[in-house]
Structure 1
Amino acid sequence: MTEDEKSNDDVIHRASEEAPIFTNYEPDFQRVFARGTLLRKDEEDDNVVQMAFWSSKDRDIKVEDSEKNGTGYRLETEVMMNWDGVFRLRELLDNYIEDHAPDRHLEEFSTDDD
């Protein structure tokens, strides 16, 4: 990948009247409603991050051969990303939140560091 291609990947594309953004649904594409996400590094490749989206969870599940209880998640889909993609996703989300989040959510999730 050339430097031009790499830097172009880092650009956040914004829709406008002059440059609309089009999406195309692929045959096996699925839309899921997620109430939350889970993240972890791949055990075999520390450059890969697993992001899972869940729709419901059950608490206090008895864990076999343990006195501890666990939490079970109904996973809807999973995404595998490298760290490059994770950082670009964070930048995209930060930008979208800044531009579109309702004030009530901005107040709820703001920190003293902001």
Structure 2
Amino acid sequence: MAYEKESGTEIHVADEESPALTTYEPNFQRVFARGTLLRMEEEDEDTIQLGFWSAKETGIELEEEDAPNAVGYRLETEVMMNWDSAIRLRNLLDNYIEDHAPDKYLDD
């Protein structure tokens, strides 16, 4: 288990002394996501909706006359989380990216 230096946030990382074990739960499914969408409902500012999409279509015409063209997404799955979970997910991803991402992705 690793800790983020500045905040002391716990980040679960597998190593030889403490392997990370996972179990697929009933109705678990794996999806391939090409992108993500993120939004928050005005009525519930504590919950974040993170959607994973596999394809998108741009320039969709809406029925209203002066409406701008829309973008449509094929949503594969959606995750609902609170802010604490979102912060922990960000810390986990930051840690993993720093340790494992190819250099061509770290240049930016």
Q: What is aligned with 2:16?
A: 17
Instruction: Give distance in 2, aligned partners of 1:93 and 1:15.
Output: 14
Q: Which amino acid aligns with 1:22?
A: L
Q: What is aligned with 2:85?
A: 85
When normalised by structure 2's length, the TM-score is: 0.87
Secondary structure, aligned partner of 2:19: coil
Structure with greater proportional helix content: 1
Query: Quick one: higher RCO (CA 8 Å, sep 6+), 1 or 2?
Result: 2
Structure 2 spans left out of the alignment, 5+ residues: 1-8
Q: What is aligned with 1:6?
A: none
Structure 1 spans left out of the alignment, 5+ residues: 1-9
CA offset at residue 43 of structure 1? 2.9
Cα root mean square deviation, aligned: 1.0
Q: Which portions of structure 1, spanning 4 or more consecutive aligned residues, are displaced by more than 2 angstroms?
A: none
Structure with greater proportional strand content: 2
Q: What is aligned with 1:99?
A: 99
Instruction: Give distance in 2, aligned partners of 1:75 and 1:42.
Output: 18
Instruction: Give distance in 1, aligned partners of 2:65 and 2:89.
Output: 38
CA offset at residue 104 of structure 1? 1.0
Give per-residue Cα distances to partners, 1:44-102, cap 9 Å, x unaligned: 20000000000000000011214311000000000001111111111111000000000
Q: What is aligned with 1:34?
A: 33
When normalised by structure 1's length, the TM-score is: 0.83
Q: How many residues align?
A: 99
